[in-house]
Amino acid sequence: MPFPAPAVQPAERPSTLSWRAVTLRIVAFMPVLGILKFVSFWFDDLSRDHAGTFATRLVEEATGACAAVPVLLLFLWVARRVPMERARWRHALAVHAATFLVGSALHTSLMAVLRWALFPAFGLGPYDYGRFPERFVMEGANDVVYYTFMLTVHTLWRHREAERRRALRAAELEAALAQAQLRALHQRLEPHFLFNALNTVSAVMYDDRDRADDVLTSLAELLRISLRAGDRQEVSLGEELETLALYGAITEARFGDRVRLTLDVPEALRAAAVPVLLLQPLVENAVRHGNAERFGYGRIAVRARRDQSTRDRLVISVEDDGPGAPIGDATRGIGLGGTIERLRLLHGDEAQVTTGNVAGGGFRVQLALPWRTADARAVAPLAVAGKLRPVAGR
């Protein structure tokens, strides 16, 4: 039963460029643009046999690039505070038009001042910039191209960042919802188990107080383990077996030796990561729906292995010897249904659950989880010994 659903992972924050980084990149492009324009004009002079223009062209384009930097910062500052948005495009267009006129006039004036100062300093004589009214129009024709390009790039960047922020918020919301669903499933399972455990205490307390005391002790230890898990969604298989051993003690107090709970888990698998409270609900289902609940006796086997044939997986099965499930009922009990939903949320289609009746009688649940190890601190030896019967040969 594969799950065609995404795994729950922490929302990955997309890498974004800050406003300062974008500004620095645009400003850093100005010297490159100045060099490219210098090369273009100088080779144009060479193609026309206009010799001796190297220094002139170099100073002209260098001063043009330097004068463009403060003007460009002004343009970017206005573009950030008055973005081109559909709702207020007329207002934004008017502001940008006014900014362009001021900025272009400033650009032309700065170039004139720099060239008037640098040409004599480099031995190029006085600089003739022509008549200013015509010069403002000529430089403005160039500036409008650069301003439009800059404003377009800035607008596209803003929209892109807005989309990335929306996608991030959606991913964080989806992850938070999935975590809330996992917590709700966990809380839904715990009261169900507590109800059965307290019923066991009620059933034995008048006949055997020592057994009732043992059950309460095991129950208290289970609650301690649950509190120790905290908000973790996964623990080691070894820690999960510790929980199962405590449940086995409660089952043994209720049914005695008439119900055999056997374990076939190699020691090397104890470090594997599994969802918290994974096995106990499945074994409890086997008790309730197998022969144990009906006739007071039965066999339940828990097995685990590592399968590396296709993908590296931990395969766990819980099998009882009861009458099996009715045809069409593959998720009997709240434990199995909750387990399927938790695995779907945690692992998506990387986890598989196979359920079905066993030939000759019984019902088997098989889980296939992605193999990975848990935190080494979570791998602890069983706190309660003798509550699970290992399979012979293990």
What is the predicted pLDDT for the residue at 316? 96
Examine the domain organization and report whether 37 and 162 are in the same domain.
Answer: yes
Note whether residue 317 is domain-resident: yes
Q: Which of 239, 174, 248, 179 is nearest to 374 (CA)?
A: 239
Note whether residue 331 is domain-resident: yes
Q: Which of 284, 272, 273 is nearest to 246 (CA)?
A: 284
Rounded to 10°, the helix 209-229/132-204 angle is 170
* Residue where a domain terminates, one of 156, 171, 186: 171
Note whether residue 60 is domain-resident: yes
Examine the domain organization and report whether 271 and 368 are in the same domain.
Answer: yes
Examine the domain organization and report whether 157 and 272 are in the same domain.
Answer: no
Three-state secondary structure of 232-260: CCEEEHHHHHHHHHHHHHHHHHHHHHHEE
Number of independent structural domains in the chain: 2
How does residue 237 score in pLDDT terms, banded at 50, 70 and 90? very high
CATH number for the domain spanning 341: value is 3.30.565.10
What is the predicted pLDDT for the residue at 391? 40
The HSE-up count of residue 82 (CA atoms within 13 Å, CB side) is: 15
What is the predicted pLDDT for the residue at 269? 95
How does residue 181 score in pLDDT terms, banded at 50, 70 and 90? low
Mean pLDDT is lowest, of 125-129, 140-144, 225-229, 321-325, for 225-229
Angle at 182 between CA 264 and CA 340, to 5 degrees: 50
Look-up of token digits 């199962």: 244
What is the predicted pLDDT for the residue at 318? 94
How does residue 3 score in pLDDT terms, banded at 50, 70 and 90? very low
Note whether residue 181 is domain-resident: no
How does residue 38 score in pLDDT terms, banded at 50, 70 and 90? confident
Give bridge partners of residue 367 from the DSSP assignment: 316, 353
What is the reported pTM? 0.51
Give the residue, 383 or 308, on which the prediction is more confident. Answer: 308
Examine the domain organization and report whether 278 and 141 are in the same domain.
Answer: no
Give the residue, 335 or 208, on which the prediction is more confident. Answer: 208
| Domain carrying residue 29 | 19-171
- DSSP alpha helices (H): ranges in 122-236? 132-204, 209-229
Distance CA 280, CA 387 (A): 13
